[in-house]
Structure 1
Amino acid sequence: MQEGEHLLAAAEAVALPFYAEPHRAYDNADHVRAVLHTLASRGLLTPTLTLAVWGHDLVYDPRAEGNEERSAEVFGEWLRGQGISPELEAEVRALILATRHTTPPATREGALLVDADLSILGADPQIFAAYDAAIRQEYSFVTEEAYRAGRARVLQSFLDREHIFSTPEFAGLEAQARTNLTHALELLQEKNRPT
């Protein structure tokens, strides 16, 4: 079994080719490094979280459902090949699946990973706008009308939550995230209005 830093370096090395795929405008290595930095800058980054961050968007096909499940399977298979314990593999898998953002995370580590993954929502408006444009680029195969409708549903789903961020470490991003999401939703709705 690889230990500590060697395992983390190996995880980065095996993950980077996935994150370099040309269709990734946002869900790429820059996003992974931003999530790692967001956790590290708050003193929250653990080896288990590091593994989960590298694995969470390993498989990313915007045309398909189940990317997180496939990411967990591919990364889990690689982890087993490194000789890690079944308990650690299960923990990393659960963390990766938490980034589906469909249900509240079951653990504190899961909540931290989800909040870090969503921290872009609470970024400065210019950074958020660049993220929003990159997401549109990843879905360039979708017609403008269909994209606006789908994206509006996604943005509204975050605004409908009582809290976007569930940990105290990320609660300070809540107000800016709501401002960014509201503005982006307004822009989508403006484009839907007849001129």
Structure 2
Amino acid sequence: MNDVEPGDLLTAAEAFARPFYAEAHRAYHSAEHVRAVLEALDSRGLLTPTLALAVWGHDFIYNPRASDNEERSAEVFGKWLREQGASSELMAEVRPLILATKHAAPPTTRAEALLVDADLSILGADERTFAAYDATIRREYAHVPGPLYSIGRRKVLRGFLERERIFTTPEFTELEGRAQVNLTAALKRL
């Protein structure tokens, strides 16, 4: 069987992923988030078919009670890519991109850095958009009691603020200042 090109998989990937992104428990990690990440890359002239596939796959599996969403997303989306006839090279490119969105370690390639920055671009949004994002994250974690949520959320927000830089690629550095302001304000509200 001939390997399918990344661009040829995009429409099928979106059709396959949309039902997952429409799950009722998703308030933020939805198709709207996927579209925002795609737009963040596309508006900067950075969107490639491989990055687009990784964007559709990066939050494919999302359970706010689990800590292995990216690993499971990479596994399930990778299996789907294989079933579609994607090359082993493409699957080897997409998997680490998806895993990079766990935000557990600095990106190791330019493509990973671009995807991570696009995924985090909401942090540098205007105040109103950031507040709406923050509220949707709380809805996704509605099962966590208020005091425990505040402790966990503070840890996440501080983790971003304690980085040398939130955005590591030149194309996203203009969001740094706004992200610092948004994260600091969100911490104060907790």
| Whole-angstrom CA distance in 2 between matches of 1:2 and 1:90 | 14
| Partner of residue 7, structure 1 | 9
| Whole-angstrom CA distance in 2 between matches of 1:144 and 1:111 | 33
Report Cα offsets for 1:61-84 as digits up to 9, x if no partner: 000110000000000000001111
Alpha-carbon shift at residue 87 of structure 1 (Å): 1.1
| Partner of residue 95, structure 2 | 93
Alpha-carbon shift at residue 4 of structure 1 (Å): 4.8
| Whole-angstrom CA distance in 2 between matches of 1:65 and 1:160 | 21
TM-score by length of 1: 0.95
Say which of 160, 182, 185 aligns to 1:183: 185
Gaps of 5+ in 1: 189-195
| Whole-angstrom CA distance in 2 between matches of 1:134 and 1:66 | 20
| Whole-angstrom CA distance in 1 between matches of 2:111 and 2:8 | 22
| Partner of residue 119, structure 2 | 117
| Partner of residue 60, structure 2 | 58
Report Cα offsets for 1:136-191 as digits up to 9, x if no partner: 00000000000001000100000000000000000000000000000000110xxx
Report Cα offsets for 1:83-118 as digits up to 9, x if no partner: 111111011000000000010111000000000000
| Whole-angstrom CA distance in 2 between matches of 1:46 and 1:6 | 12
- Number of matched pairs: 188
Q: Secondary structure at the match of 2:171?
A: coil
Q: Secondary structure at the match of 2:60?
A: coil
Q: How does 1:14-93 map to 2 (within 5 A)?
A: 14-93=16-95
Residue 63 of structure 1 aligns with an amino acid whose one-letter code is R
Report Cα offsets for 1:113-143 as digits up to 9, x if no partner: 0000000000000000000000000000000
2:63/2:69 contact within 8 Å kept: yes
Q: Secondary structure at the match of 1:169?
A: helix
| Whole-angstrom CA distance in 2 between matches of 1:53 and 1:5 | 13
Q: Displaced runs of 4+ in structure 1, greater than 2 A? A: 1-6
| Whole-angstrom CA distance in 2 between matches of 1:5 and 1:171 | 28
Q: How does 1:113-192 map to 2 (within 5 A)?
A: 113-188=115-190
Residue 174 of structure 1 aligns with an amino acid whose one-letter code is E
| Whole-angstrom CA distance in 1 between matches of 2:159 and 2:6 | 38
Alpha-carbon shift at residue 2 of structure 1 (Å): 3.8
Report Cα offsets for 1:6-49 as digits up to 9, x if no partner: 31000000000000000000000000000001100000000000
RMSD over aligned Cα atoms: 0.8
Residue 115 of structure 1 aligns with an amino acid whose one-letter code is D
| Whole-angstrom CA distance in 1 between matches of 2:118 and 2:163 | 17
